[in-house]
Amino acid sequence: MLKTHKRKINIAFTITISILTIILIYLPTGHENPRLLKNTDHVKAQVIAVNNDDLDQHGIVTVGTQDLNLKLLSGNFKGDTVIAHNILIGQKKLDKIFKPGNKVLTVLKFNKSGSKIIEARADDFYRIQIEWILLGLFALFLVCFAGITGFKALLSFIFTALAFWKILLPLFLKGYSPIIVSFGIIVLCTTVIIILINGFSRKGWVALLGAISGVGITTSMALLFAHFFKVSGTVKEFSETLLYTGYTHLDLTAIFISCIFIAAAGAVMDVAMDIAAAQHEVLEHNPSIKKKELMKSGFNVAYPVIGTMTTTLLFAYSGSFMFVFMVFMAKGTPLISICNTNYIAAEILHTLVGSFGLVLVAPITAILGGLIYPIKDQNK
């Protein structure tokens, strides 16, 4: 009877999160700009022919204008052929050179009545289709491998992505405290993820409380050490762009600190879940285990998990900075100068603070498991 009641509660929670996810899909961010879409459409097109006569090669970069003959594959003018321009400014990370056969995201501008195309611009390679295919394969493998649990994991994945896009970022832009907003969103998403996967169970509560404790510790350490590191939020790419576009009220350093514990939250949650699940399994096979022994089991699981997860963070963060490290090495920059550079120091702070959260969440979760899981016979 109790199991049936719990199952009904878990189903109701899953339905509730599904409804909230649908609401988030249609919830406006508050930062839509209708003027950008007025008499404009973004369509898929295929390159039929190119004209590179106006392109000039200067060393390793190319500048100029590439003229493209495009066949429109979507939109109101599907099937029509247009001439579009692709402007190269000499920045490899921004410039694209198209070839016949390429699929291109094309921006069309119309006259006031919308009956005629007055300008076409090749924006970038068309990647939406392959992105949807990749997402579909991910969802398919997840559901096929894990069944209903995989579906719930997929639901939590979508909910978290939407919570970031529709709640977290708009609140940042409106000037709300990044630390408070980020911590609140992390707690919300962590709660949704863990309860969706584990239901309203003691295992779920142990993992949830352990994860929230770990994120709280990571947040505190990020706030403390960011002050001593003297690193500002402007070290992150595109951060200054926000200031130049009118968002001078933003606290970029607070946003940077928020990014530290947001990035570590997933790994912290993984460690908490691993330990909580292991203790639950031990208790299932040995219901008469003592609290201290159950805590010790949690610690024994924590040791190897901490070792691998800490290195995981190092891989993740250093991988994104590999080109920067290569530049320093190629120039023969002394290691002391590298470590003292502001953006390298920011990554060191990022990695070490996140790793501290991982190390400390393990004993906390193990202790919580010993306190929360029911022990049937303490004297045995």
- In this predicted structure, what is the pLDDT of residue 8? 86
pLDDT at 380: 36
The architecture in CATH of the region 37-126 reads Beta Barrel (2.40)
Whether 144 and 4 have beta carbons less than 8 Å apart is answered as: no
- The 8-class DSSP code of residue 116 comes to S
DSSP codes, 272-341: HHHHHHHHHHHHHH-TT--HHHHHHHHHHHHHHHHHHHHHHHHHHHHHHTHHHHHHHHHHT--HHHHHHS
290-311 in b/e form (b: 16+ CB < 10 A) is eeeebbebbeebbeebbeebbe
Taking residues 208-217, report their average pLDDT.
Answer: 94
Res 376: pLDDT: 57
| pLDDT one-digit tens code per residue, 314-325 | 787 777 788 888
Q: Look over the chain and give the mean of its residue pLDDT values, rounded to a whole number.
A: 89
Q: Which residue has the higher pLDDT, 142 or 316?
A: 142
* pLDDT tens readout for residues 80-106: 999 998 998 888 888 889 999 999 999
- Rounded Cα distance between 46 and 16, Å, is 42
What pLDDT is attached to residue 378? 44
At residue 70 the predicted structure's pLDDT band, cuts being 50, 70 and 90, is: very high
Residue 313 has pLDDT above 90, yes or no: no
Q: Which residue has the higher pLDDT, 306 or 78?
A: 78
Band (pLDDT 50/70/90 cuts) for residue 369 is very high
CATH 2.40.50: which residues of the chain? Answer: 37-126
pLDDT higher than 90, residue 75: no
Residue that the structure tokens 């770990």 belong to: 214
Instruction: Write the secondary structure of 140-200 as one string of H (helix), E (strand) and C (coil).
Output: HHHHHHHHHHHHHHHHHHHHHHHHHHHHHHHHHHCCCCHHHHHHHHHHHHHHHHHHHHHCC
Question: Does the pLDDT at position 132 exceed 90?
Answer: yes
Q: pLDDT tens for residues 30-67?
A: 887 777 778 888 999 999 999 998 888 888 888 999 99
Query: pLDDT exceeding 90 applies to what percent of the chain?
Result: 51
Output the pLDDT for position 275.
Answer: 94
Residues belonging to the chain: 380
pLDDT at 375 over 90: no
DSSP β-bridge partners for residue 88: 64
What does CATH list as the number for 175-372? 1.20.1640
Characterize 70-99 residue by residue with b for buried, 16 or more Cβ atoms within 10 angstroms of its Cβ, and e for exposed: bebeebebeeeebebebebeeeeeeeeebe
Looking at residue 356, its pLDDT comes to 86
- What pLDDT is stored for residue 238 in this prediction? 82
CB 66 within 8 Å of CB 92:
no
Give ranges for CATH 1.20.1640 in the chain.
Answer: 175-372
pLDDT of residue 292: 87
Residue 166: its pLDDT value, please?
95
Question: In which band, very low, low, confident or very high, does the pLDDT at 2 lie, cut at 50, 70 and 90?
Answer: low
d(CA 203, CA 172) in angstroms, rounded, equals: 33
What integer pLDDT is reported at residue 90 of this predicted model?
85
What pLDDT score does 1 carry?
Answer: 58
